[in-house]
Chain A
Amino acid sequence: AQSVTQLDSQVPVFEEAPVELRCNYSSSVSVYLFWYVQYPNQGLQLLLKYLSGSTLVKGINGFEAEFNKSQTSFHLRKPSVHISDTAEYFCAVSEGQGAQKLVFGQGTRLTINP
């Protein structure tokens, strides 16, 4: 069965500093990987996804993630964060093609300090 582990429940950083949110997954088959962001009292918004091809994936709001098959990781990075990036970030995995269910990690709360 597939599972996702987000290694940090909370990450505080200063504004304009770089950040990395860590995600590891387990699966016995090929997977598709996603990062979603959830702002307070809102639904989830897709930041980026890895389906195939280049292992470095760029998303919205300056975020990027790198798929590492040997380490079963999909870490999210941003070189310089802003106050507006304060939110909960979820890593998710799905197996199989098409509109399959997502299995989510427990989330990482990113707090940006001025």
Chain B
Amino acid sequence: EAGVAQSPRYKIIEKRQSVAFWCNPISGHATLYWYQQILGQGPKLLIQFQNNGVVDDSQLPKDRFSAERLKGVDSTLKIQPAKLEDSAVYLCASARVGGYEQYFGPGTRLTVT
């Protein structure tokens, strides 16, 4: 089966600009996660969806970050406006309903200058 797809793989923007990342989960996986991985740290959950509903967005900086999962399939994460500290790898993962294993995409490396 095809894995989790993410695009773009790399993005360089200036601070205060906006950026969007796209994720397509494994077919049939109802649960989708966005994680932020800052260099030298482990991934940190930003938001979790089940189908098109939000399960957990407690660590999402809502003043600048937004995410949606229309139709319960692919998802978009947006940052507007970006700050220098947003430089990180943004990982998307998916899982079956009730499943314990999360499958990760290759990530999008964002550099904010």
Q: State the A residues within 8 Å of B (CB).
A: 4, 32, 36, 41-46, 49, 51, 90, 92, 94, 97-99, 101-107
Contacts and interface: CB of A to CB of B under 8 A. Distances in A.
Q: Which 6 A-B pairs have the closest CB atoms?
A: A104-B42, A43-B104, A99-B95, A99-B31, A98-B98, A44-B104
Interface of B: 4, 31, 33, 40-45, 48, 50, 56, 91, 93, 95-102, 104-107
B91 A99 contact: no
Given A42-B106, A44-B43, A104-B44, A32 B100 contact: yes
Say what secondary structure dominates the interface of chain B.
Answer: loop
Contacts of B95: 99
B22 to A, nearest CB: 15
A86 B99 CA distance: 29
Contacts of A44: 43, 91, 93, 104
A99 B97 contact: yes
A55 to B, nearest CB: 17
B42 A107 contact: yes
Nearest to A6: B42
Given A43-B105, A104-B43, A99 B56 contact: no
